[in-house]
Chains A and B, each alone.
Chain A
Amino acid sequence: GAGVSQSPSNKVTEKGKDVELRCDPISGHTALYWYRQRLGQGLEFLIYFQGNSAPDKSGLPSDRFSAERTGESVSTLTIQRTQQEDSAVYLCASSLSAHLGKLFFGSGTQLSVL
């Protein structure tokens, strides 16, 4: 497709379960970002990939969060042992190159941890 694709669009899980969220960036975009937005809150940076460089993980809130990206393609964000405070919309964005290109956002994954 032409845009950033995220799946699933909605995910309901039980506390303690692991979840995996997927992001398909726009083809050719070397930079990929994961963000989180809790209800009524602003955007919170989680992790950033730029090409084959080591990712910037400085925004990950705990070691339960991890993300991978294969080359310049799909990325997955994994949350282990989910907690209720993990409930949020998880947004992915990509750009042609880090900080030098417009950001294109996916429509997000709404995660609800019961």
Chain B
Amino acid sequence: KNEVEQSPQNLTAQEGEFITINCSYSVGISALHWLQQHPGGGIVSLFMLSSGKKKHGRLIATINIQEKHSSLHITASHPRDSAVYICAVPDSGGGADGLTFGKGTHLIIQP
């Protein structure tokens, strides 16, 4: 079963700062998900990536398959980015199995 470690667990930063959230996993995977959970509880999928880098607005996600590591970056952070960010990977790498979630990074951006 895949084990997922996220860091940091909690992060408080000032508006405008560059944010990096890290995710490491133990078993090789076909794809990794980054999710955002808003304070109200709703969950939004930010990225699903299997190699390289993806960018959406101020969000950038990278993955290094060989090192079993992914990062989520937020440029020019804003208070509305405050949320819990969660990475998720297939339980055993791929195929017909469920997902294992990291414990999440609780991000607070102060104005």
Please list the residues of chain A having a beta carbon within 8 angstroms of any beta carbon in chain B. 33, 37, 42-48, 50, 53-54, 56, 58-59, 89, 91, 93, 98-105, 107-108
| Known contacts A102-B33, A102-B48, A48 near B98 by CB under 8 Å | yes
A108 to B44, CA, bound (A): 12
| Known contacts A99-B30, A101-B48, A105-B43, A56 near B86 by CB under 8 Å | no
| Known contacts A33-B98, A42-B102, A50-B96, A99 near B90 by CB under 8 Å | yes
Please list the residues of chain B having a beta carbon within 8 angstroms of any beta carbon in chain A. 29-31, 33, 35, 41-45, 47-48, 86, 88, 90-91, 94-104
Q: Which of A42, A58, A108 contacts B103 (CB 8 A)?
A: A42
B97 and A104 contacting across the interface, CB-CB below 8 Å: no
B96 and A45 contacting across the interface, CB-CB below 8 Å: no
Can you list 5 A-B pairs with a CB-CB distance of less than 8 A? A42-B101, A99-B90, A101-B48, A103-B45, A107-B42
Measured between C-beta atoms, what is the minimum distance from A32 to chain B in Å? 11
A89 and B30 contacting across the interface, CB-CB below 8 Å: no
A45 and B45 contacting across the interface, CB-CB below 8 Å: no
A91 and B98 contacting across the interface, CB-CB below 8 Å: no
A56 and B102 contacting across the interface, CB-CB below 8 Å: no
A104 to B42, CA, bound (A): 11
Determine the chain B residues whose CB is within 8 A of the CB of A89 once the complex forms: 41
A58 and B98 contacting across the interface, CB-CB below 8 Å: yes
B96 and A56 contacting across the interface, CB-CB below 8 Å: yes
A43 to B45, CA, bound (A): 14
Determine the chain B residues whose CB is within 8 A of the CB of A43 once the complex forms: 43, 86, 88, 101
Q: Which single residue of chain B is at the shortest CB-CB distance from A43?
A: B101
